[in-house]
A = this chain, B = another copy of it.
Amino acid sequence: MTHRKAPDSSRRSEASRRAIYAAALALVGETGYAKTTIEGIAARAGVGKQTIYRWWPSKAAVLLDAFLDLVEQAADRAAEPAIPDTGDLEADLKLVLRATVDELNDPAYDAPARALAAESVVDARLAAEFVSRLLEPQLQLYVKRLTAARETGQIRAGTDPRIALELLVGPLAHRWLLRTLPLTHDYADALVDCALYGLAPRGAPRA
């Protein structure tokens, strides 16, 4: 997917870009990914469809940019860093997993995030964009925090932070994507406890 940057040279094109993002997010929420079209986005945004084609090669590219913009705006509003390092790993992880639960339960994110995730499940090319531009930067924040924790001895010496983070975010994604059970703060806390301290009794010998 070749991605051409939206221009920010004039106030008018910035206003068009905002209108296109808003239209894309609204349409995908109302009608789903399959029924959302470039034509529909253009009509709702009050721009010509050539304006959209000039900036983006596909509806997937528009929607991904619109969603990234939504996520970035929310991050700008939040005063806290994405994953704090207070020295208390358990508390820091519970804070960030609870925030993730709140985000996944937020209706403003739900429809566009589900549309992009569902399309990524069946479209390897979109998945590569979704992962590299949205997911991986978030996962790298965990890698950084867990690597710091390993240096201070709060994580076992041999642990791969890239696998360790999946014990935390994998179960959240599983519940959210496949809608098995509700996502709650208690669940976030239980995940952190299980992942940090393990399922086996602490007295049991490490095999």
Contacts and interface: CB of A to CB of B under 8 A. Distances in A.
Query: How many copies of this protein are present in the complex?
Result: 2
Interface string A150-179: 000111110110111011011111110111
Interface string A47-85: 000000000000000000000000000000000000000
Given A124-B179, A159-B199, A190-B160, A119 B118 contact: yes
Most buried by B among A90, A131, A180: A180
Interface of A: 32-34, 89-90, 114-115, 117-122, 124, 127-128, 130-131, 135-136, 139, 146, 153-157, 159-160, 162-164, 166-167, 169-175, 177-181, 187, 190-191, 193-202, 204, 206-207
Nearest to A32: B122
A contact patch SS: helix
B177 A177 contact: yes
Contacts of A159: 194, 199
Contact of A196 (B136, B177, B200): B200
A160 B34 CA distance: 39
B178 A135 contact: yes
Nearest to A195: B199
27 contacts: A32-B122, A34-B34, A118-B119, A118-B121, A130-B178, A131-B180, A136-B180, A139-B180, A153-B201, A155-B199, A155-B201, A156-B197, A156-B201, A156-B202, A163-B171, A163-B187, A164-B199, A167-B191, A170-B171, A194-B195, A195-B199, A197-B206, A197-B207, A198-B198, A198-B199, A198-B202, A202-B206
